[in-house]
Structure 1
Amino acid sequence: MTFLRPISITALAATLAACSVFDPQPAVVVPQAATTNERGQLQLQLASGVYRCELGRSVLVQRDARNANLIEVSWQGQQRTLLRHDSTSGLPRYEDRQNGLLWIDLPWKSVLMDVNTGRPLANECKLG
């Protein structure tokens, strides 16, 4: 028993000494890396499927495996092809300018908007 006491005191002293010189840094959460193209637009790998939105609305999004600049959106019985356009933020922004639809794609949520009125048609959309 007397043999363990000096070891415990030595271990405690070493631990306290280490704490006095250790400068803790706050935890940093590093987001998943996204690549950007030559125009500074984010290239995110997002999934196809049914996006469930607020107010019980849903949007079916089909991504074109051959062309990342095109998506097919099914909304209220209509299927539209939306083309990606550059955005100032670099976030994916797909539009059907002829029919006035805009799909803004984010990894955590998406929104379908009426370009002509600027109002959301389907908001807080999440894959699932």
Structure 2
Amino acid sequence: MDISFTVVLLSLLFFVSNITSSKEGGGGQWIPLTRCEIESKDMVALANYTVSEHNKEKKKDLVFEKLYSGYKQVASGLNKYNLSETATDYDHCTTPIGSCEGTHGNYTAVVWVHALKNFTQLVSFKKIK
């Protein structure tokens, strides 16, 4: 077997095993986000992204309000975030958003980010009861 083929094969197996362990919650310890991280433009944009993606996937009409806490997990360049955020639900409105009272709620979102590969994926988005 060619040595370069072996190296590629081993690299691929290592990558797949790391992704699998990340899906199962492994691959590192959950670390609380600092107040500075929570208030950063990048993290607020990521939280806003989770609401937008949820709206696209579920045909909902949520409007992002605020990111109030979160955790991060880093494994092999893949960052996983568990974000707690507030959004307003306008699904029940029959008039334009500005003239309708929405329902405020707290939500938790899990999102993967791989900055080097320009990859972001919403894994889950749920209302906190």
TM-score by length of 2: 0.33
Say which structure is richer in helix. Answer: 2
Larger Rg, first or second structure (1 or 2): 1
TM-score by length of 1: 0.34
